Structure 1
Amino acid sequence: MTAARQAFTRESADARRAALIEATAACLAAHGLAGTNVRAICARAGVSPGLLRHYFEGIDDLIAATYRATSDRIDAIFAAAVEGAGADPRVRLNAYLTASFRAPVTDPELLGAWTAFWALARSDARMAAIHAESYAGYRARLADLLHGCGADPDRAERLAVMLTAMVDGLWLELSLDATSFGAAAAASMVEQAVAALL
């Protein structure tokens, strides 16, 4: 097989895996766990059920891959927000925290998928591990940003837990009802909390 053929084959495999992951997220968002099955996922992805089993061990493996991919996508959004904020540590911190209040993070479809992941994390060890890793990474990056704003490492870790809970609560309410208080108000609340805490 030539190098070009190998690259094309690999790209096609990656594209198929990505299409199945995207279809799984969409099914979870639209139908919840009860309506997410091999047939629904494959229909949405436009592939045969056999192809799913070619790339994943089964639906549980695919849902776990979808949780990891979704977490990675959100992490990239947060990282881009920080990078686009410039050099000022406080501005970078606020960018990280308030990225949760803008699209695509506030997309209702993301909420549907995310709540399914949370539900599975309570009963599935692999999903619980992905959840723990994802949230630990978020809090560690937040603690680094807080440390950059002058908080000592121990205090930064505690504040990261507190601010993560606050952001999650505001994000959840905004995702459920965008008219409840609005993204600008959510960002302002977080910025006021940061100012008081630091």
Structure 2
Amino acid sequence: MSLSPHRAAFTREDAETRRLALIEACAACLAEQGVGGASVRTICARAGVSPGLLRHYFDGIDALVAATYRHVTHTVNDALAAAVAAAPPEPRARLIAYTTASFRAPIADPALLATWIAFWSLVKADPAIAAIHAETYGGYRAALEALLAECGVSAMERHGAAIGLTALVDGLWLELTLDPASFPADQASALAVRWVDALLGG
């Protein structure tokens, strides 16, 4: 007897749910135990699936880690895009929304920092992770350059300005997520806004 369309749709949804559960479990294990603690058995136990099921969705643990990195970067990119979409239409406001979104949830999260550190540790050793890293930071800087162009920053200055602003945001985000109590989000945002205004005013 053939499966009905309703049953087939349910099966596809269930498969995607299990795949996402493995990705989320991998991210949690990386955050809590680092790369060394992210084993097939540990991840599958956290996801509530059998170890053999991981191979059904991913070509091994390395592929799952790479998929997890890509999933995390998509989550960050979605948050940045949402911040810009919610900002007033003025170019300066859109640029500030993009830069300061990193200092609020879901990006300003100590668990995300711990996961990100695990990914960073693999950049030099894993070509797949290195490629995702290059794509991620290249996309972030490209978005910044587009927003800077909207603000009237010249083509000659945009690339360097985007690199500098990326470094500033990364540094502030790192300090904020390492110790939120001693370095509040509003201070990080104020520093970023001051830098943006100095750039645009100059």
Report TM bin, short chain.
Answer: over 0.9
Determine the structure 1 residue equivalent to 2:161.
159
Determine the structure 2 residue equivalent to 1:6.
8
Aligned AA (2:29): C
State the 4+ residue runs in structure 1 displaced beyond 4 angstroms. Answer: none
Structure 1 unaligned runs (5+)? Answer: none
1:82 to 81, 84, 98: 84
Structure 2 unaligned runs (5+)? Answer: none
Determine the structure 2 residue equivalent to 1:144.
146
TM-score (norm 2): 0.96
Post-superposition offset of 1:89: 0.8
1:109 has 2:111 as partner: yes
Alignment RMSD (CA, Å): 0.9
Determine the structure 2 residue equivalent to 1:42.
44
TM-score (norm 1): 0.97
Distance 1:114 1:101 in 2: 15
1:52-91 superposed matches below 5 A: 52-91=54-93
- 1:69-103 CA distances to partner (integer Å, 9 max, x unpaired)? 00001000000000000211111100100001011
The number of aligned residues is 198
Aligned AA (1:146): L
| Secondary structure in structure 1 of the residue aligned to 2:35 | coil
Percent identity among equivalent residues? 58
| Secondary structure in structure 2 of the residue aligned to 1:123 | coil
Post-superposition offset of 1:129: 0.2
Post-superposition offset of 1:2: 2.8
